[in-house]
Structure 1
Amino acid sequence: MSSRETLFEYPKAAFAETELARRIALAAEDYPEQEKGKPHLLRLLGELDLLIEPARRVVRRLDIPQAKRPQTIILMPGFATGPTRMRYMARNLEKAGHRTKRWGLGRNWGVAADSLTRLEQRLDEICTRYDAPVALVGWSLGGLYARELAKRRPECISRVITMGSPFSGSPRANNVWRVYQAIAGHRVDQVPIDANVSVKPPVETIALWSPSDGAIAPRSAAGLPGERDRAIALRCTHAGFTYSPEAILTVLAELDRAQSN
């Protein structure tokens, strides 16, 4: 390697080492008071249920009711996942007669400064194409995006359904905030957008939560009365919000309930 190549390679390596050290430090931070209410680590082991879910689908047959009035739905994935994780739910919503759309941002690697702007553009595109408001169904971090998007563009959104989304209380009342900070590169309470996730959007907002959630504190996902319109308890893991029959049928029921009001 020439001296010129070495000159340019060294700063890159130094930067990489510095950035890695910064992210490790973010993951190692200690906020015991802010973690109160998070699920016991044994609950987190329950999330391994995800591994046997594909085998269940071979024999499972869901009795999917037909939608009273089909609508367009944007599905928003959770942290570190993408549209593929939402595909099983999408297929069953489509089986009921709804039209599902991807959120358009690929894999969800955390809150980024331009994310909501890109989501607004995606929302405008879909609303214009079908000339009607859409419903947002967001899992975990995807639900937080859904709530904030509904505050920006309520005229384009009919309702928001969150699934295990930590919009209430401490953003560290969960078992994943350290991983989030290491990957996203910022603190969970210092995201790079102007947002107050506990404030209810000006559209109908339904929060699905579970006492069996191994990742997110149930209270954070259920919220307080003024932070959502309704909270519905399910019996599924955190990952199970995307594939459990109870979650899928509840989402379908809530979409129809909202339509009939």
Structure 2
Amino acid sequence: MEKLELTPPPAILFALEPLRAMADYVASLAPASQPLPQGDGHPVIVFPGLGVSGYATEGLRERLKELNYEVHDWEQGVNQWPDTEFDGFLDLLSEQLKRIHSQNGRPISLIGWSLGGVYARELAKTHPKLVRQAITLATPFADQPNSTHAGWLFTLLNGGVSPMDEALLRRLSIDPAVPCTSVYSPSDGVVGWAGCVGTESEYHRNIEVDNVSHWGMLHNPEVLRVVARLLAEHRRGTFRTLLDTCVTKLL
């Protein structure tokens, strides 16, 4: 894939984020233009973005429950990057993953919004047998901290020093060996869309959604349709045909 320029979104998009996010939320209140596929009951964990807790993802989780999924919050409160060693924090998140898998006996779908998608991808790498797929929403896993408008908050929450060194950034850009989808918007006002795009492969696919704000990713009807289609797919393994079929149905 051609290397993309990693730059922050235009300032005007960042300034309009609150208004556009409100529009995305209002759009989510309207009746669906077409029925969403019902799920098969498999478990799903939803990870929130930087600086917010599971309260921010509650609307998405409720909608997925209505589609017949066993949906879980990440159970770690406000997401402000771990105050411990990164792999130690992943071990903590793994405890919930293992517990839910033990109770349900089925692979788990992981959905992460923004920074939360980083955890979803890393858990998929360390526990591929427990993970059905990883879906990230506006997650800049291939980005640099200074290529987002959230970089200052990220640094502030970590004592004025960015916790992202070059080795960690390279690690985060590597895709899991399980089905993985990055949903991104070119009009994202917080993170640069180019940092949300990975190399397409047997396991990884990028899906663009138009005119969606960063904060509105959790509410926008088109994003919900994409997520619902991906969760409803039963095949676990090679992802190319699966995702091509999914996108064709959405068009």
Q: Compute the displacement of 1:98 (Å).
A: 1.2
Q: Compute the displacement of 1:82 (Å).
A: 0.9
Q: Measure, in 2, the Cα distance between the counterparts of 1:196 and 1:176.
A: 20
List alignment gaps of at least 5 residues for structure 1.
Answer: 1-34
Question: Could you say which residue in structure 2 is the equivalent of 1:67?
Answer: 38
Q: Compute the displacement of 1:69 (Å).
A: 2.5
Change (3 A) 1:53 1:225: closer
Change (3 A) 1:164 1:90: same
Equivalent pair of 1:200/1:227 in contact (CA under 8 Å):
no
- Say which SS state the counterpart of residue 212 (structure 1) adopts: coil
Question: Could you say which residue in structure 2 is the equivalent of 1:187?
Answer: 162
Larger Cα Rg: Structure 1 or Structure 2?
1
Aligned pairs (5 A) from 1:94-133: 94-112=65-83, 113=85, 114-133=88-107
Identity fraction in percent: 24
Q: Measure, in 2, the Cα distance between the counterparts of 1:194 and 1:43.
A: 25
Q: Identify which of 210, 221, 237 aligns with 2:185.
A: 210
Count matched residues. Answer: 226
Q: Measure, in 1, the Cα distance between the counterparts of 2:193 and 2:214.
A: 10
Q: Compute the displacement of 1:55 (Å).
A: 5.2
Question: Could you say which residue in structure 1 is the equivalent of 2:15?
Answer: 45
Question: Could you say which residue in structure 2 is the equivalent of 1:3?
Answer: none
1:88 equivalent in alignment to 2:59: yes
Change (3 A) 1:80 1:240: same
Change (3 A) 1:192 1:145: farther
Q: Comparing both structures, which one devotes a greater share of its residues to helix? A: 1
Q: Compute the displacement of 1:155 (Å).
A: 1.0
Q: Measure, in 1, the Cα distance between the counterparts of 2:60 and 2:51.
A: 18
> Residues 151-191 of structure 1, C-alpha deviation per residue, up to 9 Å, x if partnerless?
11111101000010011142321111111101122314239
Q: Measure, in 2, the Cα distance between the counterparts of 1:191 and 1:90.
A: 34
Q: Identify which of 158, 161, 177 aligns with 2:135.
A: 161
Equivalent pair of 1:172/1:188 in contact (CA under 8 Å):
no
Q: TM-score, normalised by structure 1?
A: 0.78
Equivalent pair of 2:25/2:219 in contact (CA under 8 Å):
no
List alignment gaps of at least 5 residues for structure 2.
Answer: 237-241, 243-251
- Say which SS state the counterpart of residue 105 (structure 1) adopts: coil
Amino acid at match of 2:14: L
Q: Compute the displacement of 1:256 (Å).
A: 2.1
Q: Compute the displacement of 1:254 (Å).
A: 1.3
